[in-house]
Structure 1
Amino acid sequence: MTLPQTPSSRLDGRTALVTGASKGLGLAAACALAQAGAHVILVARDAAVLDEAVAAMAAAGLDAESLALDVTDTAAVRAALAGRSIDVLVNNAGTNRPKPLAEIDEADYAAVMDINVRAAYFLAQAVAEAMPEGGSIINMSSQMGHVGAANRTLYCTSKAAVEGMTRSMAVELGPRGIRVNSVCPTFIETPMTRPFFDKPGFREEVLAKIPLGRLGQIEDIMGPVAFLASDAAALVTGGALMVDGGWTAH
């Protein structure tokens, strides 16, 4: 009897590109992919912070390079990626401007949608052109793409758009053997989110909605990203991998 073998979770010989990669979730995703054997291109606007992250990865024996780039500059993105074949793309760069609905203005709308949706869309478009069969596009979405929340109408709108984009790209790129999925974290403790938890009652309000009873840590997204990038997820596309501690199970 020949027993089935678990598909490899290794990414040796593959090139991955991660945006918003100088810190937080992006750096965690980059480390996860590099630890699985990929050569990882870290993309962010702050070249100094980016170089520091790449140096730390290199010191740990990980294969990484930096690419200082504003992902909202579509022309610059296309120029930087010309002639490069990317096997794994993690669209992680994003922003949030939590405010009551009545206080959101057009500048807020443009800033959030420009990074969370437009930049992700056109980067995926540029990468997909030369992405080989077996490639994987991973969009860093959010549980907020699946639920509503007061003071987060704009963020929820942008992440719901990412979910629609993910499913549609999966359908279109599937015949080429390219998979497209999203990762949907709950509140993760990062430098960007930490100020919110300093507000009286906010931490308790969030924890009350998470059945597992804890906030996410950046390490919590590393396994899901590495899985979706690898052959272990060869039949997984058009999906949303919830990393929300059970928030959306209510």
Structure 2
Amino acid sequence: MPQQDSAHAGRRVCVTGSTQGIGLGIARAFARSGARLVLNAHIPDDGGALAQLSGQAEAHYVRADLATRDGCRALIAGAAERLGGGLDTLVCNAGGFFDTPLDQLDADALDRTFDLNVKGYLYCAQAFAEQARPGASIVLIGSTNSLAAEKDSVAYDASKGAVLMLVRSLAVSLAERGIRVNGVGPGLVETPLTQAGLDRPGVRARVTSQIPAGRLGQPDDIGGAVRFLASDDAAYITGQMLYVDGGILAQQMSWSPA
């Protein structure tokens, strides 16, 4: 089990899409650092996330649909209310994948993808910036798909490419308010959302063989990177996307026949 620390002791942190998978891994990382947390999802209950964090940190749950501007503003207002003031850190993680083969991609799937993966990040950041505490930080969750395309993933790839530029643009726009903005781009991480694909015959072994680190990512791998970027140790880092991918983006195609 990762060691406890106090790097974020007492800090007020909101993590969107944080009841499972990568979001829950991020919340666990902040809980170990002594942060006060607000978790979020669009479902009526927290799915057991609060119970999992019980004993590690003060944690609350705010249900909100982040595909709408009103939902984003309600989340930030609810988080500030529960934690008793302005927030120190916002982590935008809630996202979706609604892709189909290119010739079947329609306006509905494209709109759903950008409403949640891009507009939701922007609207949450806007609301957060209005009441953020001094030295506040935003971390946006991108993807290796921000830089490298995947077949039949046009809408998702485009949305994550937009997140990369959103990190940079928000960092420039919010710098004068003392708010840092960075991103973390996960590679292939084992979560409930990727489980079905990984469980298909031969897929797990095939994709793992293409990762230089020799294993799939885990949610806690992402949590540690996010926690660092939100910490005082990263006080001079803004506008950057940190790829946590086991080396996927570092390599060219393999010529090995194996």
Does the pair score TM above 0.5? yes
* Distance (whole Å) between structure 1 residues aligned to residue 28 and residue 128 of structure 2: 20
* Structure 2 equivalent of residue 56 of structure 1: 52
CA change 1:10–1:208 in 2 (3 A) is same
* Distance (whole Å) between structure 1 residues aligned to residue 62 and residue 150 of structure 2: 35
CA change 1:103–1:76 in 2 (3 A) is closer
Contact conserved, 1:9 with 1:231, CA < 8 A, in 2? no
SS at match of 1:184: strand
Which is further off, 66-75 or 229-238? 66-75
Say yes or no: does 1:13 pair with 2:13. no
* Distance (whole Å) between structure 2 residues aligned to residue 138 and residue 130 of structure 1: 16
* Structure 1 equivalent of residue 225 of structure 2: 224
* Distance (whole Å) between structure 2 residues aligned to residue 44 and residue 152 of structure 1: 24
* Distance (whole Å) between structure 2 residues aligned to residue 149 and residue 215 of structure 1: 17
SS at match of 1:48: coil
SS at match of 2:133: coil
Q: CA deviation at 1:34?
A: 1.6
Letter in 2 for 1:62: A
Q: CA deviation at 1:48?
A: 2.2
Letter in 2 for 1:170: A
* Structure 2 equivalent of residue 190 of structure 1: 191
Q: CA deviation at 1:193?
A: 0.4
* Distance (whole Å) between structure 1 residues aligned to residue 239 and residue 26 of structure 2: 20
Which is further off, 134-143 or 93-102? 93-102
SS at match of 2:192: coil
Counterpart mapping for 1:138-153 below 5 A? 138-153=139-154
* Distance (whole Å) between structure 2 residues aligned to residue 80 and residue 108 of structure 1: 24
Say yes or no: does 1:30 pair with 2:27. yes
* Distance (whole Å) between structure 2 residues aligned to residue 169 and residue 191 of structure 1: 30
* Distance (whole Å) between structure 2 residues aligned to residue 180 and residue 168 of structure 1: 9
Gaps of 5+ in 2: 252-258
* Structure 2 equivalent of residue 70 of structure 1: 65
Output the aligned Cα RMSD: 1.7
Q: CA deviation at 1:205?
A: 4.0
* Structure 1 equivalent of residue 157 of structure 2: 156
* Structure 1 equivalent of residue 256 of structure 2: none
* Distance (whole Å) between structure 1 residues aligned to residue 181 and residue 34 of structure 2: 21
Q: CA deviation at 1:201?
A: 4.1
Q: Deviations over 1:6-55 (max 9, x none)?
A: xx9711121000110111111111111121111010011123234x2112
Q: CA deviation at 1:199?
A: 2.8
Q: Deviations over 1:154-203 (max 9, x none)?
A: 11100000000000101111122211111111111111101111234433
Q: CA deviation at 1:98?
A: 3.8
SS at match of 2:7: coil
Say yes or no: does 1:248 pair with 2:244. no
* Distance (whole Å) between structure 2 residues aligned to residue 207 and residue 100 of structure 1: 24
Letter in 1 for 2:216: L
* Structure 2 equivalent of residue 239 of structure 1: 240
* Structure 1 equivalent of residue 103 of structure 2: 102
* Distance (whole Å) between structure 2 residues aligned to residue 239 and residue 112 of structure 1: 23
* Distance (whole Å) between structure 1 residues aligned to residue 110 and residue 228 of structure 2: 33
* Structure 2 equivalent of residue 126 of structure 1: 127
Letter in 2 for 1:87: D
Gaps of 5+ in 1: 1-7
* Distance (whole Å) between structure 2 residues aligned to residue 120 and residue 224 of structure 1: 19
* Structure 2 equivalent of residue 215 of structure 1: 216
